[in-house]
Structure 1
Amino acid sequence: MGRRRTFDRDTVLMAAANAFRMHGYRDISIAALEKATGLVSGSIYNAFGDKAGLFRAALERYVHGFVAERIRHFAGGEATLDDLEGLFLSVLEPPLADGFGCLVTNSIVEFGREDSPARESIDATMALLRDAFSDVLTRELGAEVAAGAMMQLLTLYHGILTLSRSGLPMDELARSVRLTFAQLRTQRTTPPSSLNPESPSPERTTT
């Protein structure tokens, strides 16, 4: 018997996630996934079952790796409104500013409310964002203001990720982000803690 070909799972899943991000789940072919991942179709089916299995695994890796790491970087611990603003501005910079948006947001648009291979990861992303936004807003604006502001930010976050695919100038979308956070800062109930040298700058981006 021949030896089974091995591959780096994380590398394959992130390559697949990027391919799905660019083309969508329904429109991408197995041939295109072979080219993106470097795997032959037999290896894809052996490792992931089918295209849906590869998509599910790639999206899960994208959420719990790429997305979760960005949230920890910009909205973890003692993050401030300034730090959280950095998260929003960073989605208008590379690697997400390439005109293809975010795999999670694209999946929300593609699948809507239907039961799909994306459902679990979409729900996980919503939970991560809600918790992160709520923590920062409660700390800086108080619990009463935080609930409404959290939904405002959740809408803005996915809105700019969607509109970043429309061809609108990124600086116009960034201006909307800065205006929203400037308004939120006027409602601060505690002094900003961004003097903490460990806090990331609002202009800092991460890949």
Structure 2
Amino acid sequence: MARIQFDKEKVLESATNAFWRLGYTATSMHTLVEQTGLKPGSIYLAFGNKEGLFRESLDYYAHQSLDNLEATLAQYNSVEEALPDIFMSFIEESCQSEYCSCFLVKSQLELTDQQTELRDHVSQQLRRVESLYFESFLKNNTESEARAKATSVMLHIFGIRVYGYHSNSKEQLIDALRLGLPWLSWKAEH
């Protein structure tokens, strides 16, 4: 059997962008071939099928997101201090004309009951994000407080990522976050 040679990271980046922009269902094999530059046989040989490539794209995106989140959190004294800036970056993204939400959130909302394995895979990636918040909160909170705060943060992230499509008011989103998360270290410029 011939061995496939390609830059896997570039292929995953291209596939991730296609799945992220179009969604799992609307991304055809033809689109993946165009976007990745691989032949259909190479995609099947390297990833098994479209679902396998989608899973690896989710993992690629989640890994990058977690690395970015860890790097951001490391710049602050506490997660409570970091979160207002993190939320502000999400709001800024949602105000962009080409806003595309979060690949994990979009996938979670798109996948149907017939796609339970894929939905479970997305849920697992989202739990990894929540676990990172939970671990960060544990530094200054009890376990139950840390769990509740991590869940609250995820609820607000989902809210921004979904509601951001419908809201034209940056100030409205900021006011809602301040009201919903009064225990964060909000700065005057937020």
TM-score by length of 2: 0.79
* Amino acid paired to 2:84: E
| CA distance in 2: counterparts of 1:62 and 1:124, whole angstroms | 9
| CA distance in 2: counterparts of 1:75 and 1:170, whole angstroms | 27
Q: Do the aligned partners of 2:134 and 2:150 also contact (CA within 8 Å) in 1?
A: yes
Query: Structure 1 residue 32 and structure 2 residue 42: aligned?
Result: no
> Match of 2:88?
89
Q: Do the aligned partners of 2:111 and 2:118 also contact (CA within 8 Å) in 1?
A: no
Shift of 1:39: 1.9
Percent of aligned pairs sharing the same letter: 25
1:4-83 matches, within 5 Å, as: 6-64=5-63, 66-76=64-74, 78-83=77-82
* Amino acid paired to 1:67: S
> Match of 2:104?
104
| CA distance in 1: counterparts of 2:184 and 2:141, whole angstroms | 8
Report SS of the residue matched to 1:91.
Answer: helix
Q: In 2 relative to 1, CA 26–179 (structure 1 residues): closer, same or farther, beyond 3 Å?
A: same
> Match of 1:123?
124
Q: In 2 relative to 1, CA 87–71 (structure 1 residues): closer, same or farther, beyond 3 Å?
A: same
TM-score by length of 1: 0.73
| CA distance in 2: counterparts of 1:40 and 1:178, whole angstroms | 50
Q: In 2 relative to 1, CA 176–37 (structure 1 residues): closer, same or farther, beyond 3 Å?
A: farther
1:111-150 matches, within 5 Å, as: 111=111, 114-126=115-127, 128-150=128-150
How many matched pairs?
Answer: 184
* Amino acid paired to 1:169: N
Shift of 1:131: 2.3
Deviations for 1:129-159, whole angstroms, at most 9, x for unmatched residues?
3223223434345445333332221111112
Shift of 1:5: 5.8
* Structure showing the higher helix proportion among its residues: 2
| CA distance in 2: counterparts of 1:24 and 1:107, whole angstroms | 7
The CA RMSD over aligned residues, in Å, is 3.2
* Amino acid paired to 2:121: E
Q: Do the aligned partners of 2:133 and 2:150 also contact (CA within 8 Å) in 1?
A: yes
| CA distance in 1: counterparts of 2:53 and 2:95, whole angstroms | 21
Report SS of the residue matched to 1:184.
Answer: coil
Which segments of 5 or more consecutive residues in structure 2 lack a partner in the other structure?
none
Deviations for 1:67-109, whole angstroms, at most 9, x for unmatched residues?
1112202335853312122222222345995322111111111
| CA distance in 2: counterparts of 1:93 and 1:69, whole angstroms | 20
Which gives a bigger RCO, structure 1 or 2 (Cα 8 Å, sep 6+)?
Answer: 1
Report SS of the residue matched to 1:176.
Answer: helix
Q: Do the aligned partners of 2:79 and 2:133 also contact (CA within 8 Å) in 1?
A: no
> Match of 1:190?
none
